[in-house]
A and B are shown apart, each in its own frame.
Chain A
Amino acid sequence: MLTPDAIAHAIHRMAQEIIEANDSMESVALLGILSRGRPLAERLAREIHAMTGVLPKVGSLSTTLYRDDLRSSHASAKMGSGETHFDFDVDGITVILVDDVISKGRTTRAALDEVMDYGRPARVQLACLIDRGRRELPIQPDYLGWSIRTDPLDHVAVKLDECDGEDIVLLERALHDANE
């Protein structure tokens, strides 16, 4: 669905939008939501650095401890994707949450709660590579790569070089007809 070039182009454009929307990159930090938000945050930071000469701080958010679906989902005990880690103070700065895919908005909600427990950012913004729709909460990205229409059973797979050895976005369509 998305080739490496399309992904690189989207990240470049999102970085431009971030620079336009914020006065200074000195007080901006990117928090990547694990696992694939982290490399995206690093790529955005590199683009911003190339364009402004300022390298924004980058950290990771796990969100596992703030999820609202632990008891019902397969995710429950799974802690494999890593831990929250950033070594800066969020008080008074602009925090940009970075995720690969936004759908229901619940991960973003969890990430917001987690960031708020660490301090009081001046503002929080959201950057996502893919919006696959089907929102359950009133949350919208400020910076978006691509938006696609999907069915609930479809699977959007974002693969990134840092995690998966290649840059590609795949949409796996659920095969309704065959099984119904």
Chain B
Amino acid sequence: MNAEHPSIEPVAVAAPKDRAPAEKVRGGWTRRHLVGIEDLSREEIETVLDVAPQFIAVQQRGSGIKKVPLLQGRLVVNLFLEPSTRTRVSFELAAKRLSADTLTVTASASSVVKGESLHDTLANIEAMHSDIVVIRHAYSGSAQILAERHASHIINAGDGSHEHPTQALLDAFTIRQHVRKYREDPNAGLDGLRVAIIGDITHSRVARSNIWCLTKLGAKVVLCGPRTLMPAGIERMGVEVTSSLQEALRGADVVYALRIQVERQASCLLPSIREYIRLYRVDSDSLRNAPEHALIMHPGPINRDIELAADIADGARSVILEQVSNGVAVRMAIMHLLANSPRPAA
């Protein structure tokens, strides 16, 4: 059937003198590691959010194969030296859906309990030719230290009370999806949105990464919680601070409840859980101050009826399970960008 298609002896058309280099990479990505949101530009954050939707589509393939070969033959090591289920499972699944080989090392099952240093642990993992190492560690700055000394791509999955960048990215992605749907504008962003983050700000890496991420994207962040759990001088990050829940929720497009760590009571930072519930719980009562359309978010795991009322967590405005689904796609986007971007010229 293709026996005799016409063939042309081309007539030369002069090429434009300096043709644009291939195609300009939109939001070019050159980073090798993801340590925190603090040093990302708005453009880089938006690149991640723009790349993620196609990975949602991969997971929604009905009877088809729910994976793509972007990391085929590469090794992703999850080094989780602090307890975590949802983040670890999310990273594992993201790596598997990109066709990578995965290994998970947890603190109790590793030589860390025998006193091995973090550098030695990673050096041993790299001796087995890891490509990406996802690290969760109790010390702030651990991901940065590893990124400076090791060849693998390092992804920070939570370091102490410093940052939890992938959580902030998946939260921003979830918010953006809803804003776009709500405003019926496929290009809408977070500019001008009011996001209330409620709870223990001092100890929360989720709060810190989210503040960086949301403010870079143009949203207005309001922090709310007991004074004892609010870091002094946090206003310098460009946020509003209040200890009144009512005030925080007024006009909030997003209500983000943080997990209260009940053990903080032992260190006298939290007078009593009863008092916290009375003053700061997000429930149908306190939500009367927020607009009808406000989204309810939580990074999990939830203490039901402590920071967030159970009926609200399960209610129509809650997007908590969407955060979980989106988390896999956003982590796929991050791993793809880190591992598949051209090496910048040395």
Chain A residues within CB distance 8 Å of chain B: 1-2, 17, 20-21, 62, 64-66, 70-80, 83-85, 89, 91, 113, 117-119, 131, 140-150, 155, 170-175
Interface flags for B204-230 (1: CB within 8 Å of A; 0: not) read 000000000000000000000000000
Q: Are A141 and B340 neighbours in the complex by a CB distance under 8 Å?
A: no
Inter-chain contacts of B341 with A (CB < 8 A): 71, 76-77
Q: Are B63 and A89 neighbours in the complex by a CB distance under 8 Å?
A: yes
Interface status of B268 (Cβ within 8 A of chain A)? no
**In the complex, how many angstroms separate the beta carbon of B275 from the nearest chain A beta carbon?**
48
Give the dominant DSSP class at B's interface: loop
**In the complex, how many angstroms separate the beta carbon of B13 from the nearest chain A beta carbon?**
6
Task: Find B25's partner among A2, A65, A76 (CB 8 Å cutoff).
Answer: A76
Q: Please report which residues of chain B, range 26-69, place their CB below 8 angstroms from some CB of chain A when the two chains form the complex.
A: 26-29, 47, 50-51, 53-54, 57-58, 61-65, 67-69
Task: Find B28's partner among A77, A117, A146 (CB 8 Å cutoff).
Answer: A77
Inter-chain contacts of B342 with A (CB < 8 A): 71-74, 76
Which of B9, B25, B27 lies at the interface centre, i.e. has the most chain A CB atoms within 10 A of its CB? B25
Inter-chain contacts of B69 with A (CB < 8 A): 65-66, 113
Task: Find B68's partner among A65, A131, A172 (CB 8 Å cutoff).
Answer: A65
Q: Are A146 and B57 neighbours in the complex by a CB distance under 8 Å?
A: no
Which of B6, B70, B341 lies at the interface centre, i.e. has the most chain A CB atoms within 10 A of its CB? B6
Q: Are B15 and A77 neighbours in the complex by a CB distance under 8 Å?
A: no
Q: Please report which residues of chain B, range 155-180, place their CB below 8 angstroms from some CB of chain A when the two chains form the complex.
A: none
**In the complex, how many angstroms separate the beta carbon of B316 from the nearest chain A beta carbon?**
27
Q: Are B64 and A171 neighbours in the complex by a CB distance under 8 Å?
A: no
User: Looking across the interface, which residue of chain B has its beta carbon closest to that of A80?
Assistant: B26
A sample of 24 inter-chain contacts (CB < 8 A) reads A1-B8, A1-B10, A62-B54, A65-B54, A65-B69, A71-B343, A74-B21, A75-B22, A77-B28, A77-B29, A77-B47, A79-B26, A79-B50, A79-B54, A83-B54, A113-B69, A117-B67, A143-B1, A148-B10, A171-B10, A171-B13, A172-B15, A173-B13, A174-B15
Inter-chain contacts of B8 with A (CB < 8 A): 1-2, 146-148
Given the known A-B contacts A72-B342, A77-B341, are A117 and B1 also in contact in the complex, defined by CB atoms under 8 Å?
Answer: no
Besides A71-B342, A74-B21, 18 new A-B residue pairs in contact (Cβ under 8 A), listed by A number? A2-B8, A71-B340, A71-B343, A77-B25, A77-B26, A77-B29, A77-B51, A78-B25, A78-B26, A83-B53, A91-B63, A140-B2, A142-B2, A146-B7, A170-B13, A171-B10, A171-B12, A172-B15
**In the complex, how many angstroms separate the beta carbon of A7 from the nearest chain B beta carbon?**
13
Q: Are A147 and B1 neighbours in the complex by a CB distance under 8 Å?
A: no
Task: Find A74's partner among B12, B14, B23, B58 (CB 8 Å cutoff).
Answer: B23
User: Looking across the interface, which residue of chain B has its beta carbon closest to that of A9?
Assistant: B6
Q: Are A150 and B10 neighbours in the complex by a CB distance under 8 Å?
A: yes
Inter-chain contacts of A144 with B (CB < 8 A): 2, 5
Inter-chain contacts of A79 with B (CB < 8 A): 26, 50-51, 54
Q: Are B54 and A173 neighbours in the complex by a CB distance under 8 Å?
A: no
Q: Are B15 and A78 neighbours in the complex by a CB distance under 8 Å?
A: no
